[in-house]
Amino acid sequence: MNESGVEALQFAFPYISDADGAITFWRVTDLRRLRNRLSHLEPIFDEDLPFLMREAFGLMKSIEPVVADWASNFNRIPDLLKARPY
């Protein structure tokens, strides 16, 4: 990634934990794919939802850790995953 790309990455994700942006790239890619599946009403039963939830919160923490902590208080996904029948 060139210097301006790194600067843009650091501006968008000021609390980024990966200097080259590789982890952040894959987090964004995974979550965009999930968003697309949801918006097209495709089934997500075969998705690793706990992993994707961790990816989402990791991405939020790289943007603003305080907001990620706040949002985790409203996260219903772990309870929903425990209640699923399989």
**Full-model pTM:** 0.83
29-43 per-position pLDDT tens digit: 999 999 999 999 999
* Confidence at residue 19, expressed as pLDDT on a 0 to 100 scale: 77
Domain ranges of the chain: 3-83
Asked if residues 5 and 25 have their Cβ atoms less than 8 Å apart, the reply is: no
Determine what percent of the chain is predicted with pLDDT higher than 90.
66
* Mean local confidence (pLDDT), 72-83: 92
Alpha carbon distance, N-terminus to C-terminus of the chain: 42
